[in-house]
Chain A
Amino acid sequence: MSDAVITLADGAGGKASRKLVEGLFLEELRNPMLEPLGDAAIVGENGTRIAITTDSYVVRPLRFPGGDIGELAVNGTVNDLAVSGASPLALTAGFVIEEGFPVAELRAIVASMAGAATVAGVAVAAGDTKVVERGAADGLFVTTAGVGLLDLRAVLGLEHVRAGDRVLVSGGIAEHGIAVMIARGNLGLSLDVRSDTASLLPLTDALCSLGPELRWMRDPTRGGLATTLNELAAGAGLSVRIEEQAIPVRDDVRAACELLGIDPLYVANEGKLVAVVSPDAADEALALLRAQPLGANTALIGELVEDTQPFVLAQTPFGTRIVDMLVGDPLPRIC
């Protein structure tokens, strides 16, 4: 349709986002580095192993229980490098600031960026600032980019994923999305749910010791675990069978999702890792992740299987259902 316009669904991380990326950005910018559409691209001539990535942050409110936009912008980009099997060398940060924005708030946000960068062991080495007229931005938008060196022990990619491989998730899902929704304050819910925003480097670093037994990693952000598993299934050409009850979800997060009519599988995470490992390495991977404070609640949630068509299938206590990609924003159903 030639008169089509962008809607919010195009940015929600589900099917519409994928269509936009593949049908517009990839089509116009096509090149071998972009084509895999991974969390980070691998660049350079033969022999150099450099990963680059970029991400923009537009979260509202800017501060929420467990973090703020600054921490999110550092951890998000660090994690895109981490799940690609890279350790970050340096980050850049760009700020689009709306006229009238309080300097004290900006300072607090940048200070928390510094804190997150220190924890991740990376520096923000370059930056840019633009101020726009009131109304041209919603307070503050932040864009970060990062470069990293690939870990030579890891050989990651969907092409290495085989039937029988196991899927792990590093802890309770849906905490970031629920924390932000509650922080918006219009749901009338008061729950102590904090964003899980964190650097995944300790986890990815531990898993890289598995060498080629580690097949693929991703951080299930926008679109949630369901979207990540769908990308895994489609990219590997295999179905992902998961045990619904094996997926860790904190009780209060589950209760909030029930109340709102939202499936936690579709809610964003900012400090969780999904990893695919060979069946023989599954127990070791579980032990490696659980030994880290950030991965204490890691669970084996399923495996890859041959199928007529790649699906994500959840085993419930009653039967089986498909877990499809997200369509639109996970808005509460009305009754």
Chain B
Amino acid sequence: MRYVDEYRDGRAAHALAGELRELVEPGQNVKLMEVCGGHTHAIYRHGLDALLPPEVELVHGPGCPVCVIPMGRVDDAISIAERPEVTFASFGDMLRVPGGRRRSLLEAKARGADVRTVYSPLDALAIAQREPDREVVFFGVGFETTAPATALTLLRAREFGVRNFSLFCNHVLIGPALRAILDSPDVDIDGFVGPGHVSTVIGTRPYEFVCREYRRPVVVSGFEPNDILQAVAMLLRQLREGRAEVENEYGRVVREEGNPEALAAIDEAFAVREDFEWRGLGAIPHSGLRIADAFAEWDAELRFEVPGERIEDPKACRCGDVLRGRAKPWECTVFGTACTPERPLGTCMVSSEGACAAYYAYGRHTREQVSA
């Protein structure tokens, strides 16, 4: 398969691993955060951590869009979905996410709510056009990666005058989340593997503040094993040479300026919220998108009354620490016991891109062998 196989070549990977060993000094401890859940998933899916020198530690960041939706927002979604007139359309992986009382959209569906899986927000708009008697609500989640498609859907809804469609908007922004992590106490991340998909939209410039203000290097990376190893090598080289710059490993897809059309659509349809609550990280200023005033008519939060309750993250759960790189998944006392992918307690166990879920699904054998 072109564009895949060449980046999964084992021999090239082992050569890169050799290069990585040359780039660290024995006894050195380098902490690198892979921001995006797609990277976390790929690292465990391919068993990549085995190829890193022991001096390099990967910390799993907050870039799993499903994981960061707070429980109160899930409850709001369920309350909209349970209205008899509503058809609630969502991406598949949001369906299993538990809200407060550990209920999910999947359970609401089993109890009679009209919840449907879609692969694109435009599919939800098409349902609204096909079924004019239903109130179709789309559950908008994701970073700048998915926000443009949602924005375009709003533009289309206005263009075609589809009034029985609305959006429950939970889109979030990567930059403010990075800043929040850099500003937290006892966080000592030496560099960042920058998100690939988000960067196809926003480009590489929005990460410059990380280098300028925090003196940390950022390398935007693709999602194949050899992309990630290459990005780690580029970060180690920067650290070794005392540089802190934004570099682009994913040049076959990501451009410095991003995708101007996608950014324009986001600008037109959305506005930045004062703050938005993230599961595990708390409220982060200017980190979420709301529907722009010009599109208020399509705002599900204005059309339907939602409980809007804030629900504390479970006390036993250390997701916040995991997301900041202060704890590893297996250091959390509920990991694999009270909190599993079937019945997740914390955010990181929810989607296969969450650090705990990825570790639970793919990685726990090595650790159990080491400790056995």
For the complex, what is the distance from the CA of A316 to the CA of B43, rounded to whole Å? 11
A-chain residues with CB within 8 Å of residue B143 when the two chains form the complex = 335
For the complex, what is the distance from the CA of A332 to the CA of B66, rounded to whole Å? 13
Which of B212-220, B239-247, B357-365 touches A? B357-365
Contact indicator B119/A186 (Cβ below 8 Å): yes
Asked if A152 lies at the interface with its beta carbon under 8 angstroms from chain B, I say no
Contact indicator A333/B119 (Cβ below 8 Å): no
A186-B123, A319-B49 as given contacts; A333 in contact with B352, CB under 8 Å: yes
A308-B368, A319-B51, A321-B46 as given contacts; A6 in contact with B1, CB under 8 Å: no
Size of A's binding interface in residues, CB under 8 A? 36
A interface residues with partner B (beta carbon < 8 Å): 5-9, 15-16, 186-188, 251, 254-255, 258, 263, 308-309, 311, 313-314, 316-322, 324, 327-329, 331-335
For the complex, what is the distance from the CA of A188 to the CA of B106, rounded to whole Å? 25
Task: List 20 extra interface pairs beyond A328-B96, A332-B119, CB under 8 A.
Answer: A5-B107, A7-B109, A187-B119, A308-B369, A309-B368, A316-B10, A316-B225, A317-B8, A318-B46, A319-B47, A319-B48, A321-B46, A321-B362, A321-B363, A322-B363, A324-B361, A327-B342, A334-B65, A335-B142, A335-B197
Q: In this complex, what residue of B is CB-closest to A327?
A: B341
Size bracket of the B interface: 35 or more
Contact indicator B1/A334 (Cβ below 8 Å): no
**Which of A188, A316, A318, A321 has the most B CB atoms < 10 Å from its CB?**
A318
Partner of A5 from B1, B48, B111, B362 at Cβ < 8 Å: B111
Partner of B351 from A7, A320, A321, A333 at Cβ < 8 Å: A333
For the complex, what is the distance from the CA of A7 to the CA of B102, rounded to whole Å? 14
Q: In this complex, what residue of B is CB-closest to A6?
A: B110
Query: How many pairs of A and B residues are in contact by the CB < 8 Å rule?
Result: 111
Cβ of B279 to closest chain A Cβ, rounded Å: 16
A251-B1, A333-B351 as given contacts; A318 in contact with B106, CB under 8 Å: no
For the complex, what is the distance from the CA of A251 to the CA of B4, rounded to whole Å? 11
Contact indicator A321/B44 (Cβ below 8 Å): yes
A-chain residues with CB within 8 Å of residue B94 when the two chains form the complex = 334
Asked if B145 lies at the interface with its beta carbon under 8 angstroms from chain A, I say yes
**Which of A7, A186, A254, A333 has the most B CB atoms < 10 Å from its CB?**
A333
A-chain residues with CB within 8 Å of residue B109 when the two chains form the complex = 7-8
Chain B residues numbered 31-60 whose CB sits less than 8 Å from any CB in chain A: 38, 44-51
Instruction: Write 7 A-B pairs (CB below 8 A) sorted by A numbering.
Output: A255-B1, A308-B369, A317-B225, A318-B10, A318-B47, A324-B362, A335-B38
B-chain residues with CB within 8 Å of residue A322 when the two chains form the complex = 361-365
Contact indicator A334/B146 (Cβ below 8 Å): yes
Asked if B93 lies at the interface with its beta carbon under 8 angstroms from chain A, I say yes
For the complex, what is the distance from the CA of A8 to the CA of B47, rounded to whole Å? 31
Contact indicator B92/A329 (Cβ below 8 Å): yes
A-chain residues with CB within 8 Å of residue B365 when the two chains form the complex = 311, 313, 320-322
For the complex, what is the distance from the CA of A249 to the CA of B50, rounded to whole Å? 25
For the complex, what is the distance from the CA of A258 to the CA of B10, rounded to whole Å? 18
A7-B107, A7-B110, A334-B141 as given contacts; A319 in contact with B197, CB under 8 Å: no
Contact indicator B342/A16 (Cβ below 8 Å): yes
For the complex, what is the distance from the CA of A318 to the CA of B14, rounded to whole Å? 8
Cβ of A257 to closest chain B Cβ, rounded Å: 10
Chain B residues numbered 252-276 whose CB sits less than 8 Å from any CB in chain A: none
For the complex, what is the distance from the CA of A7 to the CA of B143, rounded to whole Å? 29
B-chain residues with CB within 8 Å of residue A6 when the two chains form the complex = 110
Cβ of A267 to closest chain B Cβ, rounded Å: 15
Cβ of B62 to closest chain A Cβ, rounded Å: 14
Partner of B93 from A308, A318, A331 at Cβ < 8 Å: A331
A-chain residues with CB within 8 Å of residue B92 when the two chains form the complex = 329, 331-334
Asked if B210 lies at the interface with its beta carbon under 8 angstroms from chain A, I say no
Q: Which 5 A-B pairs have the closest CB atoms?
A: A319-B47, A317-B10, A331-B92, A319-B50, A321-B362
A5-B110, A321-B46, A324-B361 as given contacts; A308 in contact with B372, CB under 8 Å: yes
A-chain residues with CB within 8 Å of residue B38 when the two chains form the complex = 335
Cβ of B310 to closest chain A Cβ, rounded Å: 25
Asked if B29 lies at the interface with its beta carbon under 8 angstroms from chain A, I say no
Partner of B106 from A9, A309, A319 at Cβ < 8 Å: A9
Cβ of A236 to closest chain B Cβ, rounded Å: 17
Chain B residues numbered 85-99 whose CB sits less than 8 Å from any CB in chain A: 91-96
B-chain residues with CB within 8 Å of residue A317 when the two chains form the complex = 8-10, 13, 46, 225
Q: In this complex, what residue of A is CB-closest to B41?
A: A333
A317-B13, A334-B141 as given contacts; A7 in contact with B106, CB under 8 Å: yes
A-chain residues with CB within 8 Å of residue B145 when the two chains form the complex = 335
